[in-house]
Amino acid sequence: MGSRGDALRRCWANGKLRRALTAYLLFNINEWASWIALMVWAYDVHGVHGASAIAMSQVVPAALLASAAAARLGRMRAPRALRLGYALQAVMAAVVGAALLADASFALVCVLAAVGSVAITLTRPVHNALLPEISDTTSELTAANAGSGWVESVAIFVGPLISGVLTAWWHPGGVLLAMAGASGVALWCAVGLGPGAPRLASRGDEGAASSWRAVVHDPAARLLSALVAAEYVLIGILDILLVVLALDQLGMSDAGPGVLNSALGIGGMIGAALTVVLIGAKRIAPALVAGAVTAGGAAAVAGLSPGPLVAIVLLAVCGAGKVFFDVALRTFVQRLLPDHLLTAVFGLQESMMMAGLAVGALVAPWLVTGTSPVVAFVFAGAFLPAVAVAAWWRLSRLDASTEVPADRLALLARVPMLSMLAPRVVERLAVFSGLEQHPVGVAVVTEGENGDLFYVVMSGEVVVTHGTDEIRRLGPGDWFGELALLHADARRTASVTTLSPVSLVTVDRRTFLTALAGTPRAMTAADDYARDHYR
């Protein structure tokens, strides 16, 4: 617990993390307050069909465009992409708010709301991808993920509260104008995040389309995105079932659905606090499945509640499980996938969230009318745990692959240019490193060829030659191959041949350069070493 407390304190002491989480809080408040204000306005204009239309006008475009937009943003420096998202949200909130106050046509507001919803989808993937870049250690990153979960839960309260107060005092359009101001403050917070590390391309990289294809074809990314979709199918169903539970089964007042939804938020804050147990955890899969079972199990039983108090308690448990699941899954993604794909992965998950909400909203009425509310709750609650349990074997194998190999970590940490990096970055290098073993007399690299790997000698001895001249011999702890990686058009300036059986730890070009790019002095040290020894 002491190390976890230290991680939380370091997270809060990190100025960039503090700014990122503050901006993220404002973003989530904006998302909730704007959504509710638009639903209230649409209901006043065209009743339940109007509310449904304004909801679908936001969800469908977001589901279709979020993944592609995030893949494109993944080519930008993360702080810049974040600032772009907050700036667009500020502009669109102001435009939609002005349209509402000017009594614009329903169709025009739907179109503007659709554009605004796409702007909203630009933030979450970039925020989740930025956290690893500005965290110094793995534990600090997990603490930042827990902070993000807590922020999301707080916004469930604050956003609707602000929306309700401003709507009653002024107008739904006033809510959007206020949220434009909040997005402006978030933009100011993001300015303090600095320029960020450059996004580096691999040879033959075709840009955003390449990142998107890499994510879609990655089995781990597909599996974790499917879990997100399953979670939001449950949320989409609950959005409707909670209205049925409050008004039809429990006989609550018109405020009942809001009270039950607020219980999810209360539980979410508790769940976010409990995610402290993930700090320093070697395995994430058990926590992920536990969160899914807790959220789904509590939702399944909520339909049997004999009174409002029991329902509120069960939904609080459901909310706690959901946020715990969210944070565990986010941490899993950040541990499992390369940094340069994180924005694209979280963008795909943003699309899956919106698609899951749409599916849940379509399935819920059929469940209620075709069966009964109780059966509908059982089905909805069982769905996410069933998917998570079915994925358990694959999740366990993926979890094992994220364990940091201690021998490779120790070896890489002794390389001077890498020792300047944050501990979390060196851990990532160790996780994504490869291992080559060669017998005597093998040319590991050949002078004049393209190079895409950085090598560190784990055991054995190699000789470096230029033409027929021997330059030097390398043994355990020595390294080679960085020169061809530091310059896109550079070729191998020397040949390296084994003098004995060797074991070599390898790091690919993109992973190597991405790690060094976040620490300019490490990049300078690597370039200086290459110039002094090989040119």
Q: What is the pLDDT of residues 21-42, one digit of tens each?
A: 999 999 999 998 898 888 788 8
Bridge-based pairing of strands 479-480 and 434-438 is: unpaired
Answer for the pair 299, 380: CB distance below 8 angstroms, yes or no.
yes
Q: Of 43-57, 93-107, 412-426, 458-472, where does the model show the most confidence?
A: 93-107
pLDDT of residue 417: 84
Name the phi and psi angles at 371, rounded to 5: -125, -105
Residue 203, pLDDT score:
47
Least confident of 146-155, 452-461, 488-497: 488-497
pLDDT band at 198 (very low <50, low <70, confident <90, very high): low
Residue 206's pLDDT band, with cuts at 50, 70 and 90, is very low
Q: What is the pTM of this model?
A: 0.74
DSSP 273-305: HHGGGGTT-S--HHHHHHHHHHHHHHHHHHTT-
Q: Does the pLDDT at position 76 exceed 50?
A: yes
Distances (CA, A) of 525 to 261, 521, 528: 54, 6, 5
Q: How far apart, in whole angstroms, are the C-alpha atoms of residue 493 and residue 323?
A: 52
Provide mean pLDDT across the span 254-265: 73
| pLDDT tens profile 124-145 | 889 988 888 888 777 788 888 8
> Radius of gyration over alpha carbons of the chain, in Å?
26
pLDDT value at residue 50: 77
CA-wise closest residue to 322 among 405, 385, 404, 368: 385
Q: Partners of 498 in the beta sheet?
A: 462
Angle between helices 138-169 and 172-191 (to 10 degrees): 150
| Per-position b or e across 203-237, b if 16+ CB within 10 A of its CB | eeeeebebbbebbeebebbeebbebbbbbbbbbbb
Please list the helix, strand and coil fractions of the chain in percent, rounded to the nearest 5, in that order.
75, 10, 20
Q: Tokens at residue 341, please?
A: 């794909």
State residue 199's pLDDT score. 62
**Are 249 and 295 contacting, i.e. CB atoms less than 8 angstroms apart?**
no
Cβ atoms 177, 48 nearer than 8 A: no
Higher pLDDT among residues 527 and 224, named by residue: 224
Q: Which pair of structure tokens corresponds to residue 164?
A: 């309700």
Calpha distance 62→347 (Å, rounded): 10
Strand partners, 450: 491
pLDDT at 282: 79
Q: Is the pLDDT of residue 61 over 90?
A: no
Mean pLDDT of 212-216: 70
CA–CA separation, 245 and 399 (whole Å): 38
Which is more confidently placed, 216 or 77? 77
* Count of helices and strands (H, E) across the chain: 21, 8
Of residues 3 and 446, more confidently modeled: 446
Low-confidence winner among 75-84, 248-257, 292-301 (lowest mean pLDDT): 248-257
Output the pLDDT for position 427.
82
**Domains along the sequence of the chain with CATH:** 2-401 (1.20.1250.20), 406-534 (2.60.120.10)
Q: How sure is the predictor about 510, in pLDDT bands with cuts at 50, 70 and 90? A: confident
